[in-house]
Structure 1
């Protein structure tokens, strides 16, 4: 097998490192991994999860990129630290998989997307739910007209409030908008904003709503958001995004159409179900296809394939990555101004 090197550029507070290291360890085409972390905090985890695939652990991003010449760079940093590292990786002619949100304003990400397009490099924001088997089954149902013309959608992504009560959490970058770009909406809600556009082959073009702190914790970023969404296909949707539970998550997407509906739920024991009057005897059906092998591993494998094989499509393009960020920041503008906002104003 040809050698293909992946670099992981991270630092203290880098998110989902266990998922990235495990995914790379399970990706056969990623033959060796180099990790660059100025803090050194990830070294033990890298050794544990990558094993013999860990080729070198460095402290300097530029040295890592220059000496090891990776074909793909995984960038997982505080959002505010993301753009310079992505820029360095693109300048080194790497494809890039960037942990979201990878910036604190869409304006910081836009020139990176443009650079990636100009250099014919992939810049893939980590919208890892795109590679779920159940998501692709839902997308096929919509594309083949099983629920007819889309009428509307409803999104819920609810996580636990418990994490927010920890003084240690209050000090992390996730709790500070200046470092993270926002709170729950940009960290978790962004997945569903991206997924509804991916499923329906449409773009959110206008948004209105509210964000705030409802749980009373001393945060510098929202723990709650409620948004209204207008799509370029003429339909409307709603999004509830917040830290409300004592533990776990409640995650669902519902889409209604002229011939039925479908629901994706990633709660424990749930999945994809749908109802279609296009069938001779309409009844509620459940997806019984291949189970999802987590989220990050299949997404990482798709990113590696696209980085090696020009014929393999990336799971998300630079423009799609930029557009979901523009949508999120339009939501924040709408909440701050009290007026609906165009995504592409």
Structure 2
């Protein structure tokens, strides 16, 4: 079968962070190519984007959304832009106790902007959102998520959403009690390439997974700026950790999602390789074992002068799979199963709306239609247990068992 020889470059929404703002400003109430089978590629791509057309024609099921944020929050501007473009949204009400971001929210949301609030409880009681999005400094997130759950909202929350595992475990228990979702914003799951890779693995195209390697590398340059040194991202007490919990968490989630199998043991090393005056790691290398015996490694670090590098590689009993996701290179795989197409196959994907918009749309649709969420509360808890188990392994020098979620 023919391989694709053209590189289609999809557009991905770039989320930005604002490390220059002061921290601790939130005050919440203290409540506890086508592949070898071009038809399947076309169907997959069509299914990703048909969601938007379906949602547009389903106007009777619009939901109200709340956004709890602050000036220093990660991805705040990107989240506002996504909420302005997703289908199925009636209104967005924004909480910022400083009020510094309200005008920007009004401009980005346009007609969807409902009202700005300083107080979380007032917004929840007045706007009565079905979904509340939380993006705050890590140490402020647990109280915000708790308030939203207590008010009966589903929650989509930016990572890390906590600084200690116990905090998120409490949130997960509360979500189950309230029969609501707490969805960690693991947007990598929503990429067309990841969906295709999951399909290939589930269909046994590369056989039984033997081992995996993950790479998520960004620039060291950002860490050299005085504004970063003073930001919450550089402070373990406010952030919970560094590169592992901020970026590595995405790949620790997606690999368990791809294999449909939990990580059960983990060990590793973290360090400050760049020597910047920060209290979190800029480098993390971890090794792990899945429940059925496959092994893996993750290298996540700020090593480059500029740009990003990534890799997801999976070797199995009947072939291999490779994806350089952040660079938007085609998904490649080779299968040695009898009857499989010869040579390396490719799948080019077109995530034109961006991974976050796809993820948010899935979350919104799950609430409007009662369909499965893009990530469950238990899956959100699972990946944070994986991350914090890695931190404990580093601290103790001993391999840790990751408790099932």
Q: Which category of TM-score, normalised to the shorter sequence, fits these structures? A: over 0.9
Tell me how far apart the structure 1 counterparts of residues 119 and 93 of structure 2 sit (CA, whole Å): 11
Aligned to 1:17: 76
Deviation at 1:109, TM superposition (A): 0.6
Partner of 2:365: 305
Contact 1:132 1:292 in 2 (8 A): no
Unmatched 5+ residue regions in structure 2? 1-58
| 1:291 maps to which of 342, 351, 354 | 351
How many angstroms apart in 2 are the aligned matches of 1:103 and 1:169?
Answer: 20
Conservation of the 8 A alpha-carbon contact between 2:70 and 2:136:
yes
The answer to whether residue 249 in structure 2 is matched with residue 178 in structure 1 is no
Deviates more, 1:270-279 or 1:208-217: 270-279
Alignment of 1:131-280 (within 5 A): 131-278=190-337, 279-280=339-340
Stretches of 4+ aligned residues off by more than 3 angstroms: 289-292
3-state SS of the aligned residue for 2:162? coil
Structure 1 residue 267: Cα displacement:
3.8
Rounded to whole Å, the distance in 1 between the matches of 2:241 and 2:340 is 47
Question: Tell me, which stretches of 5 or more residues in structure 1 are unaligned?
Answer: none
Asked whether the 8 Å contact 2:206–2:336 carries over to 1, the reply is yes
- TM-score of the superposed pair, with normalisation by structure 1: 0.97
Residues in 2 aligned to 1:147 and 1:213: alpha-carbon distance in whole angstroms? 37
Q: Greater CA deviation, 41-50 or 95-104?
A: 41-50
1:7 aligns with 2:90: no
* Pair 339,292 (structure 1): closer, same or farther in 2 beyond 3 Å: farther
1:37 & 1:178 partners in 2: Cα distance? Answer: 22
Corresponding residue of 1:97:
156
Seen in structure 2, the aligned counterparts of structure 1 residues 289 and 172 have a Cα distance that, compared at 3 Å, is closer
Q: Specify which of 140, 156, 161 is matched with residue 81 of structure 1.
A: 140
Q: Secondary structure of the equivalent of 2:210?
A: strand
Using the TM superposition, give the Cα deviation of residue 281 of structure 1 relative to its aligned residue in structure 2, in angstroms.
4.0
Partners of 2:101 and 2:313 in 1: CA distance: 38
Indicate yes or no: 2:90 matched with 1:31: yes
Q: In the alignment, what sits opposite 1:129?
A: 188
Alignment partners' CA distance in 2, 1:281 and 1:64: 56
What is the CA distance between 1:84 and its match in structure 2? 0.7
Q: For the residues of structure 2 that align with 1:73 and 1:252, how far apart are their CA atoms?
A: 32
Q: CA deviation at 1:47?
A: 1.9
What secondary structure is seen at the aligned counterpart in 1 of 2:89? coil
Are the aligned partners of 1:19 and 1:297 in contact in 2 as well (CA < 8 Å)? no
Aligned-residue Cα RMSD (Å) equals 1.2
Change (3 A) 1:130 1:280: closer
The Cα of 1:197 is off from its aligned counterpart by 0.2
Query: Which residue of structure 2 lines up, in the alignment, with residue 44 of structure 1?
Result: 103
Q: Secondary structure at the match of 1:31?
A: strand
1:315 matches 2:370: no
Give the Cα separation in 2 of the matches to 1:154 and 1:282.
24
